[in-house]
Amino acid sequence: MNTSSPSIPADVAAHVLWSEGLGGYPAGSFTTKLLDAWASADNANAARLAVGWPEYAAAFALMQQPGGVAQLRSIASRQVTA
């Protein structure tokens, strides 16, 4: 992630982890549906979602980086902020 990426709140990290079956905790019904849509989106539609929900985009991007899942878990447990 670069320095211009939005910060990732603990709840966002937890929701993204949960949506991928990697821990965290579930979101509310709207956010759960949003994350389901994100999971099935192609790159163009994922980019559109990122405009409205940049924190979730940052969390998904972090998850793809080496050590990203561990960082998201740390954020979700409120040990660090990204």
Within-domain flag for 47 = yes
Within-domain flag for 72 = yes
Hey, CA dihedral for 68, 74, 80, 82, is it positive or negative? Answer: positive
Cα 63 from Cα 82, distance rounded (Å): 12
pLDDT band at 78 (very low <50, low <70, confident <90, very high): confident
Number of domains making up the chain = 1
Within-domain flag for 14 = yes
Domain range for 47 is 10-76
Place of tokens 């163009």: 44
3-state helix, strand, coil in the chain (%, to 5): 60, 0, 40
Within-domain flag for 82 = no
Cα 77 from Cα 54, distance rounded (Å): 20
Give per-residue pLDDT as tens, 13-70: 999 999 999 999 999 999 999 999 999 999 999 999 999 999 999 999 999 999 999 9
Within-domain flag for 22 = yes
Within-domain flag for 2 = no
